[in-house]
Amino acid sequence: MPGTQVNNPLHGITLEQMIVRLEQKLGWEEMARVVNIRCFSHDPSVKSSLKFLRRTPWAREKVERLYLNVFNVWGQGS
């Protein structure tokens, strides 16, 4: 099904890539301020964040929205 992800600005971006880029740009403290989740504020790491976000859809959605806002990828197609 080619083209099924055309309108998805996150297509091809892994959750790990999002976390790493956000941490590099904002840092854990700012990420925890914007998205109030423990894995960003208490002993944060990419590994613990991935574990939590993979099983917590509401938190993952917030992180995805943050990524889209920070890196201005809204509406960019392939």
25-46 residue pLDDT tens: 999 999 999 999 999 999 999 9
Residues of the domain holding 43: 15-69
Mean pLDDT of the chain: 88
Classify residue 33: in a domain, yes or no: yes
- Whether the predicted model's global pTM rises above the 0.85 cut: no
Examine residue 21 and state whether it is found in any structural domain, yes or no.
Answer: yes
pLDDT band at 72 (very low <50, low <70, confident <90, very high): confident
Contacts of residue 64, defined as CB under 8 A and 6 or more positions apart, other chains included, come to 10, 18
Residue 78 confidence (pLDDT) above 50: no
The pLDDT of 62-72, averaged and rounded, is: 93
Quick one: the chain helix, strand, coil %, rounded to 5?
60, 0, 40
Residue 2 domain flag: no
User: What domain count does the chain have?
Assistant: 1
53 in a structural domain: yes
- For residue 37, the domain's CATH number is 1.10.720.30
Average pLDDT of the segment spanning 9-25: 93
**Domain for residue 8, yes or no?**
no
